[in-house]
Structure formats: structure tokens, C-alpha cells
Structure 1
Amino acid sequence: MKKWIFLAPLVLILVWQAYEQLPIGPRIRVSKETTHLTEPLAPDGLPDYSGALLAELREGVTPENNGALPYLQAMWPAELEAEHQAPLCQELGMQVPQAEGVASPQDDELLQRQVEEWLSGEGESAVGKERRRETFFTLIQRQPWEADQAPQVAEWIDAHREQYDLLHQAVSRPRFYCPSPTFLTDPDARWIDMQLPTVQCMRNAARCLAVRANLLAGQGDFEAAWRDCRAIYEFSDRLESTTIVERLVSYALEGLANEVALGILGEERLGGETAAQMLAFYQPRLPHNDLVAAMDTGERYCFITSVLAMSRQRLPGGPLDDGQATLSPTAARRVNWNVVLALGNELYDKLIAANKLEDRDARDQAFDRFGDELDALFEEDLVSVAAAQVSRGARSRLIGRRLLSLLLPAINAANAAQDRRNIYRQLMPVAAALAVYRAGHGEYPDTLQPLMPVLLAEPPTDLFHAASLIYRRTGNGYLLYSLGDNQRDDQGCHALYESYAGYPTQSRMRIRGWDEAVVELLGLQDAPNLYDEEGHGPYFNIPSDADDYAVRMPVVTIDLPQPPGDTNPHKD
């Protein structure tokens, strides 16, 4: 009897270890703590994440009020794969378009060849031809130009008037419902695998509008130019906040629209009426946080649906590969996936709570604490790895940590992009008000005070600190900027975005002659130490941690490349 008393603990340990290794893990429990979404349920008994999102997005949408229909007609096939075209059109209540839409000028192969042949000189290298063509298309997208400087592009724009009209119809409709085709063809797919072709194609629509807006501005039709520019903003606003990818595309579209708008606002011929229309558009566009919704839905469900696939309790419609499920069916059943899901939801709750904080300092401190917690959580030692070999709970926590290390979004980068969007929402109304003032007085004011209260209700406050934006009148324009996150006056420089005194530099623009144009605008031709002893440069002194966000007038413009021997006054 005594022998069995001594052996009993050992037997219990062996039985427990054997049980822990058995492939009989519990089913995933539907709850707020695990699956987060609790209804509706799919046939497998787990939440129908795709169905819930589609039901929310399509509510109140009809073919008549949905701007996605004319958008798709304008851009068809809008980067959709062949197998996705009919399901998406059926979901939207439209016929599959039979005619191809427009590509952006940069993606139209025929237009690219025509321009390259037009620009090429006899005996010019292939590299030289490509560089001139790329410079040409970069410039027509970012600055005003005239038809005789780019006749092929002007003809291309005229030939696609129907598609441009459709793009304007798209933004004139009150709703814009164009879901990922992945939700329609494979509702059980991991959200991290969702395809967003129509979202990515919206960049092409924006480029089309930017090129025509710049042509119209170059020809002096500023009202029409602003109409095209405003359409870019409206496309940006119509992107859903389901995922961070959609938010980043939205920010990129708004950034392109800002660039085009500044080209319009900088035109000396711009009248006060159009400038006032632009000001009225910008004034209600306030900074706001739209990343929370993307994190709470799209990013959280990217994690959860990935866990469901790895658990093999829900399998995507397509074949599984190593990138979709890295555990064998037997190994997957040795994990308690409820532990994995609960760990993930706890971290997403903390991440979202930190991002909801309106006070910037408090938010930054919360993110610092969150980062420290992640560092501690993701640190693995021999004990935790060894425990995972014998304990289902330890094994589940280890897998959860590893999954989170792969799937948690790069929130710092996303927040930086949102901050950039938001600070320009403070800068653009001031730039428009300054354009209105110049139209009425013939020059910019020496301070911002004359703009108030008629054009601006109150002094614009810097997003990053409780003080006014910096405004400096220059000889032929002005420099307007925010001090950025470091709250230090870097004279309008930004290291990450490679800008100096409010102007982007050649290292960012990748256009030959750009820095020389900046030097001329700044009057730095005789500045010491700008060029080295061999004449190389200019070398701008941008502090490594500079982070000012700036608007500078006049904007930089570069003569478009022209054919060899062309007498056009704008020739390269």
C-alpha cells in the first residue's frame, strides 16, 4: 500500500502529460472574449465575419445611389481578377461592363510609348529615354502644364472624357459600396488574405484626375481644375475604414489632392472666387482619428480569422498551404485556441484604448507602455519553450504570442501617416485663406492676423502643441508650418520626408534639376557650404530628427522634358 502511495503522484503526472499531448483540444467558444463577434453565425457554428461586414456596408445601398457603379465603369476591369468580376457586379446589381475603362497615364502602355518616342533623341540610351519619360509623367501629375507641352497626354485626356464624367458621377452619389471580392467568393477566407483591387485602383482614378486638373490649371481654367481636384478628395473620403490598408490609401489620395490644390492656390492668376470655394471646402475638414475603427474591425478580425484557419475549425474555400496553416490537423488539436483568441483580443483592446486617447501626450505614453508590454510578452526563454512541450496552456500561449508578433499592425507607422493627414487639414485652410487674401490685395499678408475673423475664425493651432502655426512672409511668397512631434522649430525641414525649408528635395522627388530649382527659389545661389570643392551638390542641412510639416509658396515647378531641338520655351 505504501508503495502505491509513493507512486501515485508520478502516475498522475504521467497521465496528465499524456492528456496534455492528446489531440482533443476544446472547440472554439463563441464569446466576446474569444471570437469577439457573437452573431451572425455561419454553418460551422462560428461567427460569420464576412457576412456581418457585408450586411453592415450594404445597408441602404441601391444601384441608383451607389457611386461604385460609375466608378467601376470608368476604371473597368479595375484590377479585378476574371473570377471576381461577375460576383462583384452581381452583388452591386450591375451588368458586367463590356468596354474597358481608363488606366492612369502612367499605366497606359500605348501613351507611354508615344511620349517616349516623342521625347527621344537620336542615339539616346534606353536608360536616358526611360528617365526622361518618368520625369515627364511625374511632373504632369504634380504641377500645372499646358497642352502644347504634352500634346499626346492632352489628346489622351480628351479621348477619355466619358470616363472622367463617370468618375465625377461616382463622387456625386451619396453612397459608395464596393466590397472586397474575397468576401463574396470565399467568405471563410482569412481577412489577411482579402483582396482589395478596387481600392488600389482608386489610386489610378486619382492620378487621372490629378493630370487633368493640372492641365486645366495650366490653361487658366481654375474652377474646372478645382472640380477635378475636389473629386480626388471625395474619393479619399469614400474609402471604408475596414482595414488600415484602406486608411493608408485614403491618406495617400488626400495627399495627392493637397499637392494638386497647392499648385492651383499658388497660381498668380487664381481669382478670389475659386480660392474662396476651396477655403469653404477645407474649413469643415477637421483632423480626426479614423484608425480606431480599422483596428477594431479589420485588424482584429485579421488576427481572429487567421487563428480560425490555423485551428482548422474553419477552413478557407481554397486549398491550404504552409502560409495559411502551419500546424498539422493533429498538432492543431493539441492547442486550446480559446487561450490564443483571448490573448489576442486582450492586446487589441489595449491597443484600441490607447489609440482612442485624444490627448497626444497621454496617447504617446500609452503606446510606450503597450510597446514595453509587447517586448516582455514576445520575449521567449527556454522555460516557456520547454513548458510548451508538455502543457497545453503554455503551448497555446506560446502560439498566441508568436501569431500576434506577426499579425499586430505597424501602428506607429499608421499613426504617423494619420498625423500627417491631420496636420495638413490644419495647413490647407490657411493656404486657401492666404490665396483669397492675395487675390483681393495683390500680395500675401505679413502676418496671419489680417485673415481673421473674416477668412479664418481664429488663429490656427498646431496639432502637435498648444500654439499657433508658424507663418513667415518671404520675398515672393511664404512659409507656413507645424513644429511637428518634436515641437521644435526646424525651419520647415523634415528629415523623413526629405524636405528643406518647406520644399521637397531632389532625393525625394528623383527629378534632375529639382534641387537647383529649390536653390533658386530660396535665393541660395551664393550660400556658403552648399556645394563641395568639386561643385557637387547642393547639400541641404536637414537635421536628422527634423519633423516640421510645411506649405511653401511659390511651389517648385520644373520645365517638362521636350523633344530635342524643340523651341517650346518650357523645353528641358
Structure 2
Amino acid sequence: MKDKTKKRVKRAIVVFVVLSVIYGMAVGVGLIRLHNVYHDLSDNGRPTALEEIIPAHVFDQNNAALLYGSAIARLKAEPANDESLMKHLTTLIKQVRTEDPNESAQQEIDQWLDSDLMKEVFALVEQGTRRSGCRFDLDYEGGFAVQMSHLQGLRTLSRLMGRQVQRLASKGQVEQAWQLAETMARFAEATSDEPLLVNQLIRIQRIGATLEAIWTLCETSTPSKQQIATFNTLFSSFASKQPLMNALDGERLICDHTIFRSSDPSQVRQLLEIKDTRWRLLFSAYTGLGKPLFLADHAYYLRIMNQVSSSFETPYSSRTQEDLNVTEDTPSHYLASRMFLPPFYRIFYRHNDMLARLRITSTGLGLIEFRQEHGSYPDTLKDWPRETIADPFTHLPLMYRKESNGFLLYSLGPNKEDDYGQVNTKDDQKGDIAWQYSRAQ
């Protein structure tokens, strides 16, 4: 009996040693692959340390964020319907930005826009746009738990300013309206240096609000040459892909620092809001006993993020559906990658939608300027002396049609089908992105 027990113990030891060797080899292979991915990132010129992407310090006297923060704080401090005015206005804006706008909500917004408080808030924003830098005090090393409460405030302020541009124009106060539109454009750049995807996606929304305000304003007032030149200068910074590329790098580095290389598993579980005991045990096993798989997951995440950053210059028209849906192809056993790889298709779509509107606006302002100089719009864009701007979705010239008192200028949008300028207000990526400008001269 003792001999049988000894044999069983010996076999168990042999099995344990063999499994340990296999486990160690698997970990070693995982570490080598991970090292190679870091090497590829470095070769591609991508930052590999969190410190590389944190925005530079801005002295208080030059920091617009302090004034923008004060504007947001003023609205948060003002009570309205048992909540802060900021929260209340944000709710009202959502009620207005629907297919069936709430008229009473719009009237209440307009009443607040006439208040002395809102004039003070807009004055703070305007002062901020004249400062040379903007950096909000964000704890980037805190990872995805970083507090970004300023983002909703910035978006709400942009939409309030857009509404005020419309109101000023309707009252005939066109000079003040154009000045506010210019302030909106400068204000939209406030978070261009923040290397986080959510920050850049909200920045894209705020740029969109600015362009929408310009389109509306052009219906009642023709911009001057100087105003067009000013906007085109600002548009050049909007068109840069660098802020979004920096955000992709920031997303990768923060996920790398907070999730994959965290020395505190409990912090990771708290971040992921894993409250169920079984899930906690599973995650602990995945990051501990399942380390070879976790290392492979880590390498896969970094490789995909590097691949996407490297291909960011590829035109939308050249991207295959496989390129755009790379997140959906993530193996099911790579749990962290499936949770933290961004929705690249949505990001590319949002960015190119903004680029399309930006190029339509820039071209449209040029056509208005052409009309001022020559008395009529060109019959085709080929008759326009300037370089034709390409549709970011097709990489072909924007579609243009001269009309009696204006023009129709449009992009084919993400489906790359010509719907003859028909705009779809639903967020299903169908229809064209169009500016139909009409104004009797």
C-alpha cells in the first residue's frame, strides 16, 4: 500500500514539474511576444510611456481652463428646478435636439440665454479663448477612473452658444453673432491636447456645433472676407488628425498602465466594477493562473492599437469592412481586449463625418466669397479657381449643384452612395451630409 502511495506521489510530482515547465515556457513565450510588440510600437514612433502623452504644464495666467472651469462652476452653482442649472440646461437641450423638439424647453433655454448670468458665463468663455494655453487638471495616472466632469459642461456651453448665435442673427445683430461664432470655433479647440478618446469625441461634437452655427448664420448674413479667412485658419487646426492619434496613444497607454500592468488586482477589479464573487475569482484566475493567456491578450491589444494608429492615414474609402470592424474580430478568450479595444468603426465614422462637414463649410464659404466677387456662383466646381476639396468618405470631389439663390454641397457619407443631397437625420449612417445654402442677394 505504501509503495502504491509513493508511486502516486512521484507521478503527481512529475506531472506538476512537467506542467510547471510548460507553464513557464508559455509565460516566457508570452513575454517575448509582448517585448516584440513594444519594440514594434517604438519602431513606429508611438509613445511607450504614459509621461510622453501628458500635456505640458500651463501657467495659470495663460490657462484658459481656469476660466472655462469658472464658467461651468457658475452654472453648476445656480439652482434650477431642484438641481443645478448646468444639469437642468443639459436636460433641456436633449429635449430640443430631437425629431420633435420640445417648444417649452426651447423657450426656457432662451429665457436663460437672456439672463445676466449667461452673459457673464459667455464673457468668461470669450476671455478664455484669448489665452494661449488650456489644460484641465486631470490625473492621467488614475487611468480610466480619471475625473472628466468638465466635458459635459464644455459640450453644453457649446450648444448654448450655438443657440445664441441663431437668436442674435434672427434679431439682426449679425456682427455680434459672427463674433460669437468665432468664439465658438476657438472654444472648440479647448481640449485638442487631451489624449483621451472620449475627450476628442466630445471635441468633435463641439466642432460640429460650431459648423452648424455657421451654416445657420450664413442664411441671414454674408460673412466678410476677413471672417472667412479667420474661420479657414481655425478650420486647419480642426482638420488635423494629430489630436485623435494622440488620443489613441493615450487610450493604449492608460489601458496598458491601469489594466495589464497594474500591481494591484483589487484596483483593477474595482475599476471593472466586478462585484460578483464568482467573477472576481474568474478574473483573478485569468490574470494569475492564466498568465500565459493574459500575456497573449496584452500583446494582442497592443498590436491592434499599433495597427490602427499606423493605418490612420489610410483614406476611409480604402478601408475594408474588415479594417473597420477589427474590434468585432477579437478572439472571445481575450477578455481584456474585448472589453477595452475602442469601437474603431464608430471613431473613424465620427471623425470623417466631422471632416466632411468641415470641408463642406470651408468650400461653401469659398463659394459665397466667389459670389461676392463675380456676381454668381460657378456652374461646377471645375469652374472654381481653387483646388477642389475631396470628400473624406470617397476621396473624390465633393458633390456640388448650383441653385437659383445658392447651392447644394454635399458628401456621400459613410455608405458612399449618392442620395442627391438627401439628409438622413437618424444615426444609421445612411443619406448624405449636405449644406443647402439659399439666400437672396
TM range (shorter): 0.7 to 0.9
Which among 352, 365, 386 is matched to residue 432 of structure 1?
Answer: 365
Q: Tell me what 1:63 maps to.
A: 60
The equivalent residue for 2:80 is none
Q: Once the 2 structures are TM-superposed, how far is the Cα of residue 237 of structure 1 from its aligned partner?
A: 1.7
**8 Å contact 2:195–2:251 — kept in the other structure?**
yes
State the shift of 1:251 in Å: 0.6
Alpha-carbon distance in 1 for matches of 2:87, 2:10: 76
| Cα distance in 2, alignment partners of residues 333 and 446 from structure 1 | 64
Say yes or no: does 1:160 pair with 2:118.
yes
The amino acid that maps onto 1:132 is: E
Summarize the alignment of residues 402-551 of structure 1 with structure 2, pairs less than 5 Å apart: 402-440=335-373, 443-449=376-382, 451-452=384-385, 457-495=386-424, 497-498=425-426, 546-551=430-435
Q: Distance in 2 between matches of 1:79 and 1:298?
A: 29
Shift in CA distance, 36/175, structure 1 to aligned 2, threshold 3 Å: farther
Aligned partners of 2:85, 2:186: CA distance in 1, in Å?
19
In 1: Cα distance, 2:257 partner to 2:275 partner: 16
Matched, 1:106 2:89: yes
Give the whole-Å Cα distance in 1 for the aligned partners of 2:271 and 2:258: 16
Q: Distance in 1 between matches of 2:326 and 2:69?
A: 45
Mapping for residues 15-94 of structure 1, pairs under 5 Å: 16=18, 33=35, 49=50, 52=51, 56-59=54-57, 61-76=58-73
One of 213, 219, 228 as aligned partner of 1:260 = 213
User: What is the SS of the residue equivalent to 1:202?
Assistant: helix
Q: Which amino acid aligns with 1:160?
A: M
1:229 counterpart (171, 178, 181): 181
- What is the CA distance between 1:481 and its match in structure 2? 0.9
Give the C-alpha shift of residue 267 in structure 1.
1.8
Aligned partner of 2:315 in structure 1 is: 360
Query: What CA distance in whole angstroms lies between the structure 2 residues aligned with 1:355 and 1:493?
Result: 33
Q: Take 1:69 and 1:464, find their aligned partners in 2: how far apart are those partners?
A: 38
For the structure 1 residues 312 and 548, does the alpha-carbon distance in structure 2 shift closer, same or farther, using more than 3 Å as the test? same
The residue aligned with 2:438 is: 554
Distance of 2:272 and 2:221 partners within structure 1: 60
Pair 1:430–1:361, CA change in 2 (3 A): closer
Helix, strand or coil: the match of 2:217?
Answer: helix
Partner deviation per Cα, 1:57-79 (whole Å, 9 max, x = no partner): 243x1111111111112221676
Code of the aligned partner of 2:351: Q
Report the equivalent of 1:340: 294
Kindly provide the amino acid, as one letter, of the partner of residue 89 in structure 2: Q
Asked whether the equivalents of residues 76 and 102 of structure 1 are also in contact (C-alpha less than 8 Å), the reply is no
Larger relative helix fraction: 2
Residue 134 of structure 1 pairs with residue 105 of structure 2: yes
Provide the secondary structure at the position in 2 that maps to 1:257: helix
Match of 1:116 in 2: none
TM-score, scaled relative to structure 1: 0.59
Contact conserved, 2:169 with 2:221, CA < 8 A, in 1? no
Task: State how far apart, in whole Å, the 1-side matches of 2:374 and 2:324 are.
Answer: 52
* Cα distance in 2, alignment partners of residues 324 and 360 from structure 1: 44
Q: Please state how far the C-alpha of 1:312 moved relative to its aligned partner.
A: 3.3
Distance across 2 between alignment mates of 1:320 and 1:469: 44
What letter corresponds to residue 213 of structure 2 in structure 1? V
Deviation readout 1:308-364 (Å, 9 max, x if unpaired): 55x735737989963599434974774354752453243333333234322326962
- Cα displacement (A) at 1:458: 1.2
Q: Is 1:490–1:547's contact at 8 Å kept on the other side of the alignment? A: yes
Find out whether 1:247 has 2:249 as its counterpart.
Answer: no
TM superposition score normalised by structure 2: 0.75
| Counterpart residue identity of residue 342, structure 2 | P
Structure 1: stretches of 5+ with no match in the other structure: 38-46, 81-100, 112-129, 141-149, 379-397, 499-507, 509-543, 556-572
- 2:269 and 2:66 map into 1 onto residues whose CA distance is 28
1:349 to 1:363, Cα distance in 2 relative to 1, 3 A: farther
Match of 1:298 among 251, 258, 262: 251
Q: Which residue of 1 aligns with 2:14?
A: 12
Q: State whether residues 350 and 370 of structure 1, in contact with CA within 8 Å, keep that contact through their aligned partners in structure 2.
A: no
Residue 327 of structure 1, aligned match among 280, 290, 297: 280
* CA contact 1:171–1:231 (8 Å) conserved in 2: yes
Determine whether 1:213 maps to 2:165.
Answer: yes
Could you tell me how far apart the structure 2 residues matched to 1:468 and 1:321 are? Answer: 48
- In structure 1, the residue matched to 2:98 is none
The CA distance in 2 between the partners of 1:469 and 1:13, in whole Å, is: 68
Inter-CA distance 372–302: structure 2 relative to 1 (3 Å threshold)? closer
1:175 maps to a residue whose letter is G
CA-based RMSD of the aligned residues comes to 4.6
Q: How far apart are the structure 2 equivalents of 1:104 and 1:554?
A: 36
Which among 149, 153, 170 is matched to residue 197 of structure 1? 149
Question: Structure 1's 475 and 108: CA in aligned 2 closer, same or farther, altered over 3 A?
Answer: same
Taking a change above 3 Å as real, the CA distance of residues 279 and 34 of structure 1, as seen in their structure-2 partners, is closer
The percent identity for this pair of structures is: 18
Which residue matches 1:176?
Answer: 134
Deviations 1:47-92 (A, max 9, x none): 995xx379x3243x11111111111122216769xxxxxxxxxxxx
Aligned to 2:44: none
- CA 209–10 in structure 1, closer or farther in 2 if over 3 Å, else same: same
2:309 matched to 1:351?
no
**Separation of aligned partners in 1, 2:330 and 2:224:** 59
The 1:53/1:70 distance shift into structure 2, 3 A limit, reads: farther
Partner of 1:117: none
Give the secondary structure class of the aligned counterpart of 2:123.
helix
